[in-house]
A and B are shown apart, each in its own frame.
Chain A
Amino acid sequence: MTGATADAAPLLQLRGVETFYGKIQALKGIDIDVNSGEIVTLIGANGAGKSTTMMTIFGAPRARRGRVVFDGKDITALPTHLIARLSIAQSPEGRRIFPRMTVFENLQMGASINNFAHFDEDLERVFTLFPRLKERAPQRGGTLSGGEQQMLAIARALMSRPRLLMLDEPSLGLAPLVVKQIFEVIADLNKREGLTVFLVEQNAFHALKLAHRGYVMVNGLVTMQGTGAELLARPEVRAAYLEGGH
């Protein structure tokens, strides 16, 4: 198999994963590796199966064939909440913050996995990363702007001290400046703390610049892979995802 560049086995490994929605096959056998300390991105057009891949890793929907392995443990058949407790955190598509709960309560929900151990410390950390959230702490999540909600979703995910952070389209519907800010935070977390990130993006340019490695997905299949710079240089990628306007 390809991919394994690091010394140890990959942190997250997808092998031949096939996922169905009823009779419709969304993923047609996918192999993806995410090594410890890497930022890996999965890019592709609408409906290519990027979000499905992300959700399949989380067990909803479940892969019908193939295996998902995290840290040497087969998690293919594990219920979602138990997968999350293996310290995989997710900022899901559409952010899915709790709109009627305050920013502070949202963050607390994120910390409930590890029973609020080192809660104050983690809170300080995400407030340093996103100072805006500190200002907004007593405010209802639903009253935040789109960018702030995305920051909250990422911060909530970080509160559990994850070993793998999965982000589904964090740039969706946000102003370029905010996107830049969020991507900088991700790069910074990776560089300083060695956080492993799996990023699903439509914004191919930003994602590939940020990521160490990338996968390109078309119609439920991974068609290309390589380092971020390699993929950015590939004419097919440029034609399909970059020059088409992003």
Chain B
Amino acid sequence: MTAAPQSKPLADPDAKAAPSIVPALRNAFAAALVAFGLCFPIISYHAESNINNELVLVSRWPLSLGIAAVVFLFFFFRQVSPPDWRVWFDRVGAVAAGGMGGALAESAAEGEGTAAPSKARTRFSEWFGPFALGVVILFPLIMLGLLGPNGSLKWINNYGIQIMIYVMLGWGLNIVVGLAGLLDLGYVAFYAVGAYSYALLSTTLGLSFWICLPLAGILAAMWGVILGFPVLRLRGDYLAIVTLAFGEIIRLVLINWVDFTNGYAGISGIPHVTFFGIPFNDEDNGFSAIFHLPFSPIYRTIFLFYLILALALLTNFITLRLRRLPIGRAWEALREDEIACRSLGINTTNTKLTAFALGAMFGGFAGSFFAVRQGFVSPESFTFMESATILAIVVLGGMGSQLGVAIAAAVMIGAPELMRELDWMKKIFGEDFDPTQYRMLLFGAAMVVMMIWKPRGLVSTRSPSIFLKERKAVSGDLVKEGHG
């Protein structure tokens, strides 16, 4: 029941003793030289803007030399250590390199997302799912009880709602990527369509949220089909590139079609959510007055939390139901083998389009929730980084696993929020230390840890949607990676 290490280092008593020092030194020196060479363009010089807003080049030679020294020592000790330790050196090295990669990626792209290494057991869904659901349902009330209306606001809003949005997006994308096996790198486009649908419909036509929600879903689904048609023949890498481009196109249209979307400035003044017509304000007809409660913004936040929870559970419910229907099984079969599907009489065109449309619809729902929660939308919210985060949630969660996706979303979105709580570390590392800047470092490291320990995602077992006598999960470890 434990997450067993996949391979144990070979403990070979006859292994040759530590190799001689000279080749180890030579090896380590070469590695340090390479590290220094790599550091030179990236780390040795750093552009900063000074008080006059001019760019000045700051040299950071000691840092580069320090990194080279660390690499030197690391390789030296790796070389002189017994062979069965080297596996661990290599793992540490891989994780460190992954972290560096993540940190470098941030300099090119900005955005949210990190993950702490998380161990998951392979079969905890039976009790863990309902238990987690119970905790999530009670979460706002527990927080409210513990911290009061003011203290709990941050927790319900920044953690609860934020995570639930990504759980929902993850579940929506899971239909496309996890079930139908269509790698979609532009999922945020549908999120954007949903958000702008609500923003524009409510500000121009004055439609209420409950009318806009299905409309946003339909519009997003329509765009899903529009994207689906030209990419029907594509798979894998090619599909990924086209969907990536699609996501960017939507964002660029939102930026440049100023008459319609107000460009970079975005759309503000989006009507807030109401409690089925009762506004959450401090007036006489407001929620607090009607229910004889002291006025507090917390009620709206709690309502938003339950709203997104309901939307996410709807996504989950529909996905689980569909998996048992022929269409759901056709999605999974399509992921496995498209040619076999066709020769079994499955219309792969329709199967793909329904996957795109349904995934997009849930993205659209989440988008209009985003708009009603923020009261403001702008193209900045729909960058590629969002798509990458959602995709990472699906992949880390274990493709096709609903519970895994939920856990991955909680970790990926919750961890960077938690890092904001680490302000006390400034006392140790000085005022310049900003823990949130290390998000990407941890993100990269977590990715590598995952690839080493759980290459098929947190919940890699796929429970069959139908079974003869009893349900029997099939371990993901039984099948090679990449071969299903």
Chain A interface (Cβ within 8 Å of chain B)?
58, 60, 79-82, 84-85, 89-90, 92, 96-102, 104-105, 108-110, 112-113, 137-140, 142-143, 156, 160
In the assembled complex, how far is the CB of residue B457 from the closest CB belonging to chain A, in whole angstroms? 13
Is residue B7 within 8 Å, beta carbon to beta carbon, of the partner chain? no
Residues from chain B with a CB closer than 8 A to the CB of A139 are 474
One of B332, B345, B479 near A81 (C-beta < 8 A): B345
Asked if A160 and B344 sit within 8 Å, CB to CB, the answer is yes
Contact status of A104 and B345, CB under 8 A, knowing A98-B332, A112-B326: no
Asked if B344 and A60 sit within 8 Å, CB to CB, the answer is no
Asked if B336 and A60 sit within 8 Å, CB to CB, the answer is no
Residues from chain A with a CB closer than 8 A to the CB of B464 are 101-102, 104-105, 138
Asked if B474 and A92 sit within 8 Å, CB to CB, the answer is no
Q: Name 5 interchain pairs, CB-CB below 8 A, sorted by A.
A: A60-B342, A81-B344, A84-B345, A100-B462, A109-B344
Contact with A along B453-484 (1 / 0, CB 8 A): 00000000010111110001010001100011
Asked if B339 and A101 sit within 8 Å, CB to CB, the answer is no
User: With A80-B342, A96-B339 given, can you name 19 additional A-B contacts, CB distance below 8 Å?
Assistant: A81-B345, A81-B348, A96-B343, A100-B336, A101-B336, A102-B467, A105-B329, A105-B332, A105-B464, A109-B329, A110-B344, A112-B329, A113-B344, A138-B464, A138-B474, A140-B478, A142-B483, A143-B478, A160-B344
Is residue B333 within 8 Å, beta carbon to beta carbon, of the partner chain? yes
Asked if B333 and A109 sit within 8 Å, CB to CB, the answer is yes
In the assembled complex, how far is the CB of residue B153 from the closest CB belonging to chain A, in whole angstroms? 44
The distance in angstroms between the C-alpha atoms of A137 and B465, with both chains bound, is 13
Interface hub of A58, A108, A140 (most chain B Cβ within 10 A): A140
Residues from chain B with a CB closer than 8 A to the CB of A160 are 344-345
The distance in angstroms between the C-alpha atoms of A215 and B451, with both chains bound, is 51
Residues from chain B with a CB closer than 8 A to the CB of A105 are 329, 332, 464-466
Contact status of A112 and B468, CB under 8 A, knowing A96-B337, A96-B339, A100-B462: no
Residues from chain B with a CB closer than 8 A to the CB of A81 are 341-342, 344-348
Closest to B335 in A: A100
Is residue B340 within 8 Å, beta carbon to beta carbon, of the partner chain? yes
In the assembled complex, how far is the CB of residue A26 from the closest CB belonging to chain B, in whole angstroms? 17
The distance in angstroms between the C-alpha atoms of A82 and B349, with both chains bound, is 12
One of B329, B340, B341, B472 near A138 (C-beta < 8 A): B472
Chain B interface (Cβ within 8 Å of chain A)?
326, 329-330, 332-333, 335-337, 339-348, 462, 464-468, 472, 474, 478-479, 483-484
Residues from chain A with a CB closer than 8 A to the CB of B344 are 81, 84, 89, 109-110, 112-113, 156, 160
In the assembled complex, how far is the CB of residue A118 from the closest CB belonging to chain B, in whole angstroms? 16
Interface hub of B343, B465, B484 (most chain A Cβ within 10 A): B343
The distance in angstroms between the C-alpha atoms of A97 and B340, with both chains bound, is 7
Closest to B474 in A: A140
The distance in angstroms between the C-alpha atoms of A110 and B341, with both chains bound, is 9
Asked if B468 and A104 sit within 8 Å, CB to CB, the answer is yes
Asked if A92 and B340 sit within 8 Å, CB to CB, the answer is yes
The distance in angstroms between the C-alpha atoms of A135 and B78, with both chains bound, is 49
Asked if A101 and B342 sit within 8 Å, CB to CB, the answer is no
One of A96, A112, A138 near B345 (C-beta < 8 A): A112
Asked if B336 and A137 sit within 8 Å, CB to CB, the answer is no
In the assembled complex, how far is the CB of residue B346 from the closest CB belonging to chain A, in whole angstroms? 6
Residues from chain B with a CB closer than 8 A to the CB of A97 are 337, 340
Contact status of A104 and B467, CB under 8 A, knowing A81-B345, A84-B344, A142-B483: yes
In the assembled complex, how far is the CB of residue A82 from the closest CB belonging to chain B, in whole angstroms? 8
Asked if B472 and A98 sit within 8 Å, CB to CB, the answer is no
Closest to A102 in B: B464
Asked if B484 and A142 sit within 8 Å, CB to CB, the answer is yes
In the assembled complex, how far is the CB of residue B348 from the closest CB belonging to chain A, in whole angstroms? 7
Asked if B340 and A96 sit within 8 Å, CB to CB, the answer is yes
In the assembled complex, how far is the CB of residue A162 from the closest CB belonging to chain B, in whole angstroms? 10
Residues from chain A with a CB closer than 8 A to the CB of B466 are 104-105, 108
Closest to A140 in B: B474
Residues from chain A with a CB closer than 8 A to the CB of B483 are 99, 142
In the assembled complex, how far is the CB of residue B412 from the closest CB belonging to chain A, in whole angstroms? 25
In the assembled complex, how far is the CB of residue A6 from the closest CB belonging to chain B, in whole angstroms? 26
Asked if B479 and A142 sit within 8 Å, CB to CB, the answer is yes
Interface hub of A58, A104, A109 (most chain B Cβ within 10 A): A109
Residues from chain A with a CB closer than 8 A to the CB of B333 are 98, 101, 109
Residues from chain B with a CB closer than 8 A to the CB of A99 are 336, 479, 483-484
Closest to A110 in B: B344
Residues from chain A with a CB closer than 8 A to the CB of B341 are 81, 109
Residues from chain A with a CB closer than 8 A to the CB of B329 are 101, 105, 108-109, 112
In the assembled complex, how far is the CB of residue B265 from the closest CB belonging to chain A, in whole angstroms? 47
Asked if A142 and B337 sit within 8 Å, CB to CB, the answer is no
The distance in angstroms between the C-alpha atoms of A61 and B347, with both chains bound, is 16
Closest to B332 in A: A101
The distance in angstroms between the C-alpha atoms of A84 and B337, with both chains bound, is 16
Residues from chain B with a CB closer than 8 A to the CB of A82 are 345
In the assembled complex, how far is the CB of residue A208 from the closest CB belonging to chain B, in whole angstroms? 26
Closest to B348 in A: A81
In the assembled complex, how far is the CB of residue A74 from the closest CB belonging to chain B, in whole angstroms? 19
Closest to A143 in B: B478
Residues from chain B with a CB closer than 8 A to the CB of A108 are 329, 466
